[in-house]
């Protein structure tokens, strides 16, 4: 038995906000942002777009890939519904859901897809959400389960939850969604494929380092307070940087040692796209050449749980992933959480 990624998709809002655009409103510059983060632009959703809208588009892209693989009737709408009906579970990682508490954004997506046979749930693991989601999907599809196919999505509208007057924070984030369809397949013989190994971890002592403080039961809005003001992301940048470099380094080392392989066996490392300097620092500590890492932060900035599936879809559609390639994903985020997957494509 193997748990394989059989299709991918992504959704990127068309509105592109460059560093130069921000420099017209804030005391910053393109050169400063590039040199400190590796970011050149980010994409911003319009006011009518919610987390579920981007998730739905990414999911449909992935479903369309399955239709193309399996051959459809030629009726695109019906073909997408037919494939959606084969989904047994929808897992959606997000820090920016449509609604607080309920309903889950995954349920909104399930309804709009017409995937009425699928269970649906959101997970809150910050920027590690897609890595957590893949492992949860693998568990739900595992040996003894009648479930066969899962949709794993990372989707974020982070632009709604940043303080656009805070030049140290608003430059970092963008909106987007990525999706993958995961399927349980027969794996005769000794050939390994699919999701090979996952490491998941958390350090709850770092909750204060990356937090959206307002709006929950710990600190709800009170009657008479300003209506319509969302909670803002607050971050202790140095603490998160130190955590990220340490955990990325450790997770890469553990994934390699547990599978008794070397970095030369890995075709690509797809990290969470938070800050290019984090990736560079981790790579330098481990002696990994920078070209081994796939970075698209230049165009999209930090899209949290969406960043890894967006990157996977870019690689997949560009033909940069070949069957049998060993791929490593690495992530870290609010919680604080971290993790990584080894995947044979």
Q: How far, in Å, CA of 230 to CA of 19, rounded? A: 24
**Does the annotation mark 302 as catalytic?**
yes
The DSSP code for 265 is G
Q: Tokens at residue 250, please? A: 């450790």
Catalytic residue among 53, 275, 302, 316: 302
**Does the annotation mark 272 as catalytic?**
yes
Handedness of CA 169, 171, 172, 177 (dihedral sign): positive
Which CA distances in Å does 25 have to 17, 19, 20, 127? 12, 10, 9, 28
Query: Smallest Cα–Cα separation from 104: which of 93, 114, 115?
Result: 93
Q: Tokens at residue 144, please? A: 């003894």
What are the backbone dihedrals phi and psi of residue 285, each rounded to the nearest 5 degrees, phi first? -60, -35
Catalytic residue among 272, 275, 316, 341: 272
Q: Based on the number of CB atoms within 10 Å of its own CB, is 226 exposed (0-12), middle (13-18) or buried (19 or more)?
A: exposed
Catalytic residue among 51, 107, 127, 170: 127
Q: How far, in Å, CA of 177 to CA of 158, rounded? A: 11
Omega cis (within 30) before 103:
yes
Q: 184 pairs with which residues across the strands? A: 3
**Does the annotation mark 127 as catalytic?**
yes
Active site residues: 127, 272, 302
């Amino acid at each position: 038995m193997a748990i394989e990624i059989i299709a991918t998709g992504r959704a990127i809002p068309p509105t592109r906000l460059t560093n130069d655009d921000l420099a017209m409103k804030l005391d910053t510059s393109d050169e400063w942002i590039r040199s400190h983060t590796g970011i050149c632009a980010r994409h911003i959703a319009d006011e009518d777009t919610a987390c579920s809208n981007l998730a739905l588009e990414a999911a449909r892209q992935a479903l369309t890939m399955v239709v193309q693989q399996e051959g459809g009737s030629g009726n695109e709408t019906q073909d997408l519904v037919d494939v959606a009906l084969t989904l047994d579970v929808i897992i959606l990682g997000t820090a920016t859901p449509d609604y607080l508490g309920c309903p889950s954004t995954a349920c909104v997506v399930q309804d709009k897809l017409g995937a009425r046979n699928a269970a649906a749930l959101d997970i809150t693991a910050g920027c590690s959400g897609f890595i957590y989601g893949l492992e949860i999907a693998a568990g739900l599809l595992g040996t003894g389960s009648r479930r066969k196919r899962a949709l794993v999505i990372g989707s974020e509208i982070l632009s709604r939850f940043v303080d656009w007057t805070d030049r140290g924070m608003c430059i970092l984030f963008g909106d987007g969604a990525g999706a993958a369809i995961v399927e349980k397949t027969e794996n005769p013989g000794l050939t390994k494929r699919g999701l090979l190994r996952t490491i998941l971890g958390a350090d709850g002592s770092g909750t204060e380092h990356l937090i959206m403080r307002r709006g929950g039961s710990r600190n709800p809005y009170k009657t008479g307070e300003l209506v319509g003001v969302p909670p803002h992301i607050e971050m202790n940048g140095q603490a998160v940087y130190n955590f990220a470099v340490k955990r990325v380094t450790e997770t890469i080392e553990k994934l390699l040692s547990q599978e008794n392989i070397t970095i030369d066996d890995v075709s690509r490392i797809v990290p969470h796209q938070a800050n290019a300097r984090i990736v560079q620092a981790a790579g330098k500590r481990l002696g990994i050449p920078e070209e081994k890492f796939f970075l698209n932060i230049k165009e999209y900035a930090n899209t949290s749980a969406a960043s890894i599936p967006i990157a996977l879809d870019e690689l997949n559609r560009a033909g940069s992933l070949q069957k049998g390639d060993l791929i490593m994903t690495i992530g870290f985020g609010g919680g604080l959480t971290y993790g990584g997957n080894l995947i044979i494509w």
